[in-house]
A and B are shown apart, each in its own frame.
Chain A
Amino acid sequence: MSFSELYFNVDHGYLEGLVRGFKGGILKQTDYLNLVQCETLDDLKLHLQSTDYGNFLANEPSPLAVSTIDDKLKEKLVIEFNHLRNHCLEPLATFLDFITYSYMIDNIILLITGTLHQRPITELIPKCHPLGSFEQMEAIHIASTPAELFNAVLVDTPLAPYFIDCISEQDLDEMNIEIIRNTLYKAYLEDFYKFCEELGGATADSMCEALAFEADRRAFIITINSFGTELTKEDRAKLYPRCGKLYPDGLQLLARADDYDQVRNVANCYAEYKELFENAGSNPGEKTLEDKFFEHEVQLMKNSFMMQFQFGVFYAYVKLKEQENRNIVWIAECVAQRHRAKIDSYIPIF
């Protein structure tokens, strides 16, 4: 195991090379500078043609809709990801599957919330992320309680073990769905963290850091969002993923927090989070905490590319690409709605 770097390229060298090549296609700062100057979506399309995206919109009749761009962006990511997934060997295969689980969780929650609001399933399906689709997904609306959801739909999916903790919930209402989402996420992150730790080597180094950050971010966001809701502190504490840097002391402090300032005080104990909270705010000119987190994530993911012979690059690529999609869609929305004031709040990657 200590020589895993030596054999890495035998099994995963091709894909690592491929993903590093894909990384070269991620838009640069200059591309963004050009994109924000666009007057219409057709301009946007014209400029994207000169980047790595090539002719991905060539067969779409104008006028373009933002949702078409979004779909095509996702489609491109999914094609690339599936190419990687189809060519990989263990343990990379499991690793890539782990990446898709988070999209599955989001899809499940989306579908349940949708059915709760009496939306027809056919309308909801296109909104699901294609990376997280699974066979039983469309039949999800038959479930009316978490137990049913588990027994009928999720028992065959890889998410089944994460769901065990939620079965006790009584019925599916808004609050419980959020609790289910966070419990699932917590179990998923902890499992993924454990898996990466077992892989060891450089993969563990880069991935554990990324997942720890993800876990801490969730803990912060859960706490901040829980203010003013019926969620009790004990229930809230149960939702914190226990694999981040906040565990165990920080989480205990967070569990006791009553308002935003107390959360900030907790963050102040940790150098990397202190910085994020310091100049975040919702006033114009300031970046929101969410954006700050995204920025930090992008930084982490970029660092992941500095190390070789590890799986972190695959995770990093998917995350960076997702961020890029968010950026493009944001710019496209701003262009389409002629709302240029905030067009610069994208998060540049390179």
Chain B
Amino acid sequence: MGSLLRSEEMTLCQLFLQSEAAYACVSELGELGLVQFRDLNPNVNAFQRKFVNEVRRCDEMERKLRFLEKEIKKDGIPMLDTGDNPDAPVPREMIDLEATFEKLESEMKEVNANSEALKRNFLELTELKHILRKTQTFFDEAIHDPTLTDEAVGLLGEEIQRAGQALKLGFVAGVILREKIPAFERMLWRVCRGNVFLRQAEIETPLEDPITGDQVRKTVFIIFFQGDQLKSRVKKICEGFRATLYPCPETPSDRREMAIGVMTRIEDLNTVLGQTQDHRHRVLVAAAKNIKVWFIKVHKIKAIYHTLNMFNLDVTQKCLIAECWCPVTDLDRIQQALRRGNERSGSSVPSILNRMHTKEEPPTYNRTNKFTEVFQSMVDSYGVATYREINPAPYTIISFPFLFAMMFGDTGHGTIMFLFALYMVIREKALQARKIENEIWDIFFNGRYIILLMGAFSIYTGLIYNDIFSRGVNIFGSSWNPNNKTYSEHVLEGWTTIKVEPNETCFKGPYPLGLDPIWQHSENKITVTNSFKMKVSVIFGVTQMLFGVALSLLNHRYFRKPLNIFCEFIPQLIFMCSIFGYLIILIFVKWTHFTSKDSSSAPNLLIGLINMFLMTYPENDKNPSVHTFYPGQKGFQIFLVVLAVLCVPWMLLVKPLLLRHWIRHGQQRHAGTYYLLNGEVPEVVHHSDNDTEEEDEEEPFDFGETLIHQGIHTIEYCLGCISHTASYLRLWALSLAHAQLSEVLWGMVMSTVLRMDGLYGAFLLVPVFTVWAFLTLIILVVMEGLSAFLHALRLHWVEFQSKFYTGQGYKFMPFSFDNLMDYSLEEK
């Protein structure tokens, strides 16, 4: 419990590790995850550090693993994730690993090169097959289609006649990427001045590119031309557009023969390709079994060497010196881990852990479990607590869901939320193992405990507000009962709504739990709930703020700053109590001292508060709202206001003036000043050797600066008290909005159908219920839930924590393999 209230006590340690044992020790510490190493060579380049070669070898291994992983993923082989966590391998094993990876990689590369060559061959053959098939149709058309022949003759006729029969049309056939066709055609036309004839046909099935493995669409083309010069030009263009040209025999019989030859070769190639694929598959399946474990091993080795790079070598080169932060309570476990590391490495000289004293601010380390973790992270995202400062997280566990529930008060919605969270909590392990990669799901899943509590508290506040999906339930029987004399059946029937006078209806004593269900039907329901919720908001708000101020007392006491208690805590407390504490008392007085009979003559609290500041107390006013609660109220209230106003200069001036006085008069009280100012005297005593230089480091006292600083704090606090109290009214406002929204949804959607008669209504109920249920879930539970969450968060971060929390620490980041694995997984 102590660790949750304040962060762990940390200490700076110096580690002396024997060179041969350093690796094993760091590995053990990494498994433990309780030590944060400091970089002792921040000025040294990454590539000039001692273990840079090992890090580089790890990089190389990682690269090979990534290559393998890519190949495995390409083939869609599932990678076995057993979830086991192998120890970091000893340095010797690194060589074995390297050899294994090297072998695998070269094997893979060979297989890939082979299959690439085969595939290229295969592609060429398939292209040739397509060419033969498509060009066949071109030639066939030319023979069978008389119009085309005529046209062709017409087009080419003149030239043929001119050149005589000896001139023959040459042609080239090839395959080109489909998207290049338009530019290709245009360029052919331009370069050859229209003297070529291009036919094209698309290949329907996409072909596989042998290098990238992508599916590409291609087109077969055949170009007719005459003359050698044109031929060379056409070939150059084809080359330029990366078209592949294939020999195509001129006579149909040759073509047929070639086609048959190609088909047999394709079949042969297919079997060879199949065998290569099989081989590749076998290699990859074997690799896939181990690849996760290998990744973890390599990550660990790399992490260890990275850490070792942060160490200093001592003069004799025999041992490594490290500096680290670690929690005081875990020193024993760290010692044990070091001993284990020494044993593993077989080193005779033990590693030494030495506590050091330092002026440096230690990191903040709050031990959490899976339940408190989410609350701690909520506090941390505002600001990490200053070292050993009061941690608001334990209070947040209860106050956060409660304030949330005050805004979200509805038993029905609360139950949905509760059950959802309960499902996540119960199936926790199974859901975690499934590793759902979805950001939104992650948010909900990580917040499952907070959602569970929010749901549970909402069920409770819903019962108090008597709201279940905006309906009230009559569990104990309403205490209100129309008296038969005044409210006879006759009278009741004539009215759709009726104002029930409390004094004339039978009143059986208060309803046992929360709001009486009769309010559901009352005209003035909102007036009543508003008044109730507003007052409750102020009461809880002021209480929480007073609690925050009280926590600041604990901080002042812990850090031994009595001056802050006298000059900050006490005036702050008086200021708050004399205004808002007094208001709360009045609220309770009003609740307890006015019954339904004289409630109309009760004084108004808000006007009372305003008049208290204006100091106007009208004597003979008819209006009961400005009356006083008790005799002597005027005098007492004036006293309270004066007290509160006096607190302002007290907070503002006393501390700076006092400090200046002490600094000016008497060096003999110097130590006392420091004691009061910083509370560091008891600690300074320890490290006598550093004392002198530390004294010099202290900043000189600057009165103006201190005064301005104090002024800012005073203004912030005084204005804050007022605005923060008003800010807590959001509890009421959101609760009102939530109740009204759900009521409107019920009234507009469900109740219209429920009021229908007959079969028609019954059937309509099904779709309408679906709509209502959907809207309830999306708008009322999810959206309203988020908004209430945000407001509750704000109330904690701003209104509550500003009273005591400085949050200027930095987080303890232990060197831990677990974090490392999470991180590397996220990276992907």
Contact = CB atoms under 8 A, between A and B. Distances in A.
Q: Of residues B62, B66, B67, B191, which shows the largest number of chain A Cβ atoms within 10 Å of its Cβ?
A: B191
A138 B241 contact: yes
B183 to A, nearest CB: 5
A46 B60 contact: no
A153 B52 contact: no
B237 A151 contact: no
B821 to A, nearest CB: 19
B46 A139 contact: no
Q: Of residues A34, A46, A62, A148, which shows the largest number of chain B Cβ atoms within 10 Å of its Cβ?
A: A46
A62 B62 CA distance: 13
A152 B45 contact: no
Interface string A20-60: 00000000000000100111001100110110000000111
A49 B62 CA distance: 14
A38 B236 contact: no
Given A34-B45, A142-B240, A155-B190, A135 B59 contact: no
A47 B66 contact: no
B47 interface: yes
B46 A46 contact: yes
A121 B235 CA distance: 13
Nearest to B232: A142
Contacts of B63: 58-61
Interface in B37-83: 45-48, 52, 55-56, 59-60, 62-63, 66-67
Contact of A47 (B47, B60, B62, B237): B47
Nearest to B240: A139
Nearest to B242: A138
B187 A152 contact: yes
B240 A140 contact: yes
A11 interface: no
A278 to B, nearest CB: 36
Contacts of A156: 183, 186
Interface in A142-156: 142, 148, 151-153, 155-156
Contacts of A121: 239-240
A59 B68 CA distance: 12
A47 to B, nearest CB: 6
A151 B190 contact: yes
A258 to B, nearest CB: 43
B241 A139 contact: yes
Contacts of A34: 45
A136 B46 contact: no
A142 B47 contact: no
Give the size range of B's interface with the partner: 20 to 34
B180 interface: yes
B240 A37 contact: no
B56 A46 contact: yes
Contacts of A135: 180, 183
Nearest to A122: B239
Contacts of A138: 239-242
Contacts of B56: 42, 46
B709 interface: no
B344 interface: no
A141 interface: yes
A155 B189 CA distance: 13
B62 to A, nearest CB: 8
Interface in B130-166: none
A172 B444 CA distance: 70
Contacts of A153: 187
A104 B240 CA distance: 16
B282 interface: no
Nearest to A40: B47
Q: Of residues A62, A136, A140, which shows the largest number of chain B Cβ atoms within 10 Å of its Cβ?
A: A136
Contacts of A42: 47, 56
B357 interface: no
Nearest to B48: A37
B265 interface: no
Nearest to B70: A59
Interface in B729-754: none
Contacts of A142: 191, 233, 236-237, 240
Contacts of A139: 187, 236-237, 239-241
Contacts of B66: 58-59
Interface string B798-815: 000000000000000000
Contacts of B52: 46
A141 B60 contact: no
A264 B241 CA distance: 48
A50 B46 contact: yes
A152 B191 contact: yes
A226 B241 CA distance: 37
Nearest to B180: A135
A316 to B, nearest CB: 30
Interface in A102-121: 121
Contact of A58 (B59, B186, B191, B236): B59
B183 A47 contact: no
A110 to B, nearest CB: 15
B45 A47 contact: yes
A37 B45 contact: yes
Nearest to B60: A62
Nearest to B53: A42
A124 B186 CA distance: 24
Contacts of B60: 61-62
A153 to B, nearest CB: 7
Contacts of B240: 121, 136, 138-142
Interface string A125-140: 0000000000110111
A63 to B, nearest CB: 11
A236 B67 CA distance: 55
Given A59-B67, A61-B63, A136 B187 contact: yes
A129 B59 CA distance: 30
B643 to A, nearest CB: 54
Contacts of B46: 46-47, 49-50
Interface of B: 45-48, 52, 55-56, 59-60, 62-63, 66-67, 180, 183, 186-187, 190-191, 233, 236-237, 239-242
Given A46-B46, A121-B239, A136-B187, 9 more contacts: A42-B47, A47-B47, A58-B66, A61-B63, A62-B60, A136-B183, A139-B236, A151-B191, A152-B190
Interface of A: 34, 37-39, 42-43, 46-47, 49-50, 58-62, 121, 135-136, 138-142, 148, 151-153, 155-156
17 contacts: A46-B47, A46-B55, A49-B46, A50-B46, A59-B66, A61-B63, A121-B240, A135-B183, A138-B239, A138-B240, A139-B240, A140-B240, A141-B236, A142-B233, A142-B236, A151-B190, A156-B186
The 9 A-B residue pairs with the shortest CB-CB distance in the complex, in nearest-first order: A139-B240, A43-B47, A138-B240, A142-B236, A46-B47, A152-B191, A135-B183, A152-B190, A34-B45
